[in-house]
């Protein structure tokens, strides 16, 4: 039940506004921690029956660097750092109040909260990595993600088309866009893109089987269509429903990042001789064409937002520049994980203080890379970025080397491209529901990047 309880936590995380409330992210973190403890207890007492990632050495550097990042973030909250590393504001406070305290972080409480959340995402990845070695569990999780994306998309479309004024019990800030249970349409677009990739994976898996029909003949095409309708009707329905909701979210970054992820997915299918099946490529190309038709039918609002880039680009460019100046003034230690809002106030200028849209940007830099470097400093931030790149590299290798189930690591590569590109212009990965989904998906994709027939035995297991 640990695995299915994990799926339940991840699938329900978008429900309370993307889990972007203190009570909701604390509840999710607590639930994941309890599941991880249950897994550890079960592994200790029933090692032979408890799944464990057999290729631990392949992600050993990722685990070490991630722990180093967490330790550094914790040090940012304490007085253990050298005195010259502490933020000058602490020194000013001590002089005024005749008190002795200080830390690198300007907001140690928020830094500890960020550590809790980051550790929670890592535990989701680890549990998915262990259980995802079972191809049936991996497929069940992908199917569940697709169903979750479909349900949340249907809810968002009902709210939008029914012209309801609230999302759950909160007033909708984007009344003209689909945001489902998320407050921000960009965050829903990222979530929808990840679940859309899962529907694409299940469709592609089915297409590989159906592609054996001779599509050049009438009988072959008839059997193909019949089997497609009977065996793949729900992935098709989910694909078009989620893609419609993604387009109607009017998220420029979400749409462009998913488009690039889809392009990478198609390129992967083409470069791998095992998946370079003419019929499969034709079918996937046809789905892409149908998706383009959906785009042109329902993309008026999205295209209108593309036409209003100048003002927002000017504001964000200014914030990016100020963030970079702050990084240059303190490139090694950072200002504390999760303390961007407090620290950025020290660097904002009157040039942007009077711009109406800026208060939305004060909380986040709208560029996750810059914000991470700002908070952690270059060494720790680069270590964290390496962890993501290494996992994507393992998925890419798995896609090229595996003889079956290559679709899962391929989706892992595409999902990382989607997340990585959108992180250039938004902060979706800082909304807990999105990294929960991403961590689950990548844990499964990474687990399926290794052949089950080549798994080494662990101590105490049967040979």
319 domain residue, yes or no: no
34 domain residue, yes or no: no
Instruction: Return the higher-pLDDT residue of 225 and 431.
Output: 431
In DSSP notation, 320-380 reads HHHHHHHHHHSTTT-S-TT-HHHHHTTT--HHHHT-TTHHHHHS--S-HHHHHHHHH-HHH
Q: Is 96 exposed, middle or buried (0-12, 13-18, 19+ CB in 10 A)?
A: exposed
Q: How confident is the model at residue 459 (pLDDT cuts 50, 70, 90)?
A: very low
Distances, alpha carbon 401 to alpha carbons 19, 90, 203, 407, in Å: 37, 54, 21, 12
Calpha distance 148→192 (Å, rounded): 9
Mean pLDDT of 309-322: 73
**pLDDT tens for residues 14-35?**
988 899 999 999 999 999 999 9
Instruction: Decide: helix, strand or coil at residue 35.
Output: helix
Picking from 56, 62, 51, the residue whose alpha carbon sits closest to that of residue 127 is 51
Calpha distance 313→161 (Å, rounded): 30
181 domain residue, yes or no: yes
Q: Which residues are 171's β-sheet partners?
A: 166
Quote the pLDDT of residue 183.
Answer: 87
13 domain residue, yes or no: no
Distances, alpha carbon 238 to alpha carbons 123, 165, 214, 267, in Å: 29, 25, 27, 23
Quote the pLDDT of residue 219.
Answer: 63
Picking from 67, 3, 70, 11, the residue whose alpha carbon sits closest to that of residue 35 is 3
Say which DSSP state 82 is in: -
- Arithmetic mean of pLDDT over the chain: 82
Mean pLDDT of 169-198: 88
315 domain residue, yes or no: no
Mean pLDDT of 414-426: 94
Q: How confident is the model at residue 36 (pLDDT cuts 50, 70, 90)?
A: very high
Place of tokens 């297991």: 461
**pLDDT tens for residues 339-375?**
888 888 777 764 555 544 444 446 788 899 999 999 9
Place of tokens 């470069």: 271
Which residues are within 8 A (CB) of 350 and not within 5 positions of it... i.e. 6 or more apart? none
**pLDDT tens for residues 275-313?**
666 555 665 666 666 666 665 555 555 555 555 555 566
Residue 213, pLDDT > 90, answer no
Picking from 141, 118, 154, 122, the residue whose alpha carbon sits closest to that of residue 194 is 141
The domain in which residue 94 lies consists of 53-307+367-452
The structure tokens listed for 386 are 């390496």
**pLDDT tens for residues 49-88?**
788 888 889 999 999 999 999 999 999 888 776 666 666 6
In DSSP notation, 188-239 reads HHHHHHHHHHHHHHHHHHHHHHHTTS-TTSHHHHHHHHHHHHHHSHHHHHHH
Residue 94, pLDDT > 70, answer no
Quote the pLDDT of residue 360.
Answer: 45
Helix (H), strand (E) at residue 63: helix 60-75
386 domain residue, yes or no: yes
Instruction: Decide: helix, strand or coil at residue 76.
Output: coil
Quote the pLDDT of residue 271.
Answer: 81
320 domain residue, yes or no: no
Helix (H), strand (E) at residue 166: strand 166-167
Q: How confident is the model at residue 166 (pLDDT cuts 50, 70, 90)?
A: confident
Mean pLDDT of 160-172: 80
Task: Say if residues 262 and 417 touch (Cβ distance below 8 Å).
Answer: no
Picking from 448, 420, 339, 440, the residue whose alpha carbon sits closest to that of residue 121 is 440
Say how many domains are in the chain. 1
3-state helix, strand, coil in the chain (%, to 5): 70, 0, 25
Quote the pLDDT of residue 461.
Answer: 40
Q: How confident is the model at residue 212 (pLDDT cuts 50, 70, 90)?
A: low
280 domain residue, yes or no: yes
Calpha distance 256→254 (Å, rounded): 6
Quote the pLDDT of residue 456.
Answer: 43
Mean pLDDT of 191-196: 96
Residue 224, pLDDT > 80, answer no
Place of tokens 């049967």: 462
Mean pLDDT of 127-144: 94
Give the phi and the psi of residue 216 in degrees, each rounded to 5.
Answer: -80, -15
């Amino acid at each position: 039940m640990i695995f299915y309880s994990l799926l339940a936590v991840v699938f329900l995380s978008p429900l309370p506004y993307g889990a972007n409330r203190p009570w909701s992210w604390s509840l999710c973190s607590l639930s994941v921690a309890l599941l991880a403890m249950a897994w550890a207890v079960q592994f200790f007492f029933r090692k032979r029956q408890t799944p464990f990632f057999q290729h631990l050495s392949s992600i050993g550097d990722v685990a070490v660097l991630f722990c180093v990042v967490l330790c550094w973030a914790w040090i940012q909250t304490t007085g253990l750092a050298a005195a010259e590393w502490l933020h000058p504001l602490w020194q000013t406070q001590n002089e005024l109040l005749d008190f002795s305290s200080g830390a690198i972080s300007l907001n140690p409480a928020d830094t500890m909260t960020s550590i809790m959340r980051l550790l929670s995402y890592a535990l989701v990845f680890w549990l998915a990595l262990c259980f995802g070695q079972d191809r049936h569990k991996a497929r069940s999780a992908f199917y569940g993600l697709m169903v979750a994306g479909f349900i949340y998309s249907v809810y968002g479309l009902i709210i939008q088309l029914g012209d309801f004024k609230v999302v759950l019990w909160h007033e909708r800030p984007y009344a003209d866009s689909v945001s489902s249970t998320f407050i921000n349409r960009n965050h829903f677009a990222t979530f929808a893109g990840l679940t859309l990739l899962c529907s694409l994976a299940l469709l592609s898996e089915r297409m590989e089987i159906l592609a054996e029909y001779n599509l050049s003949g009438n009988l072959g095409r008839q059997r193909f269509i019949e089997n497609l309708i009977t065996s793949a009707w729900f992935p098709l329905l989910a694909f078009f429903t989620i893609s419609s909701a993604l387009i109607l979210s009017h998220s420029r970054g979400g749409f462009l990042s998913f488009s690039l992820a889809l392009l990478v997915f198609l390129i992967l299918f083409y470069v791998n001789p095992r998946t370079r099946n003419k019929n499969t490529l034709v079918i996937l190309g046809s789905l892409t064409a149908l998706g383009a038709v959906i785009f042109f039918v329902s993309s008026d609002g999205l295209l209108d937002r593309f036409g209003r880039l100048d003002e927002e680009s000017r504001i964000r460019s200014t914030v990016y520049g100020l963030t970079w100046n702050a990084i240059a003034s303190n490139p090694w230690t950072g200002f504390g994980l999760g303390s961007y809002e407090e620290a950025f106030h020290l660097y904002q200028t009157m040039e942007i203080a009077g711009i109406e849209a800026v208060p939305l940007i004060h909380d986040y830099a709208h560029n996750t890379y810059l914000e991470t470097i700002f908070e952690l400093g270059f060494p720790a931030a680069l270590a964290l970025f390496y962890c993501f790149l290494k996992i994507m590299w393992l998925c890419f290798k798995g896609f090229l080397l595996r003889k079956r189930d290559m679709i899962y690591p391929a989706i892992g590569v595409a999902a990382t491209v989607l997340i990585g590109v959108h992180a250039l212009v938004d902060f979706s990965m800082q909304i807990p529901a999105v990294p929960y989904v991403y961590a689950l998906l990548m844990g499964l994709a990474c687990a399926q990047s290794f052949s089950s027939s080549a798994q080494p035995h662990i101590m105490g297991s049967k040979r």
